[in-house]
Amino acid sequence: MVAGDTRITALRKGALEFCVLALLRDGERYGVELVRTLGEVDGLAISEGTLYPLLSRLRRDGLVETVWQESPTGPPRRYYALSDRGSDALTDFTIEWARFRDSVDTLLSTKESR
């Protein structure tokens, strides 16, 4: 059971960065908003703060870009946007993920129906 838990966690972690990229597909987002949205997704089971190391890596890897913008309520804020590289990575993952998911689903349901 415990071993299964850590494997699920590893799966979540692998998919998480693409969830971040997917949220940016329709336009740039403010960091806090991005982190809140993901924190509320059922099944991802992450705390908001643990996303910042991920965002930091995505930024360094050039998959996202950050832009400073004015805020009506405080100091200027950093917004995240998808870079061209990030967009390509997301497209690739979307295709691979669909294949992976379908294959796993097929195997899981075969086993169940036995």
Question: Which residue ranges make up the site for other proteins (CB under 8 A)?
Answer: 13, 30-32, 35-36, 39, 47-57, 59-61, 65-71, 73-78
Least Å distance, CB 7 to other proteins, is: 15
Q: Which is nearer to other proteins, 56 or 94 (CB)?
A: 56
Q: Which is nearer to other proteins, 22 or 31 (CB)?
A: 31
Least Å distance, CB 76 to other proteins, is: 5
CA distance 58 to 21: 9
User: CA 13, 15, 20, 24: dihedral to nearest 10 degrees?
Assistant: 170
Q: Which is nearer to other proteins, 39 or 87 (CB)?
A: 39
The long-range contacts involving 42-45, CB below 8 angstroms and separated by at least 24 positions, are 44/12, 44/16, 44/19, 45/12
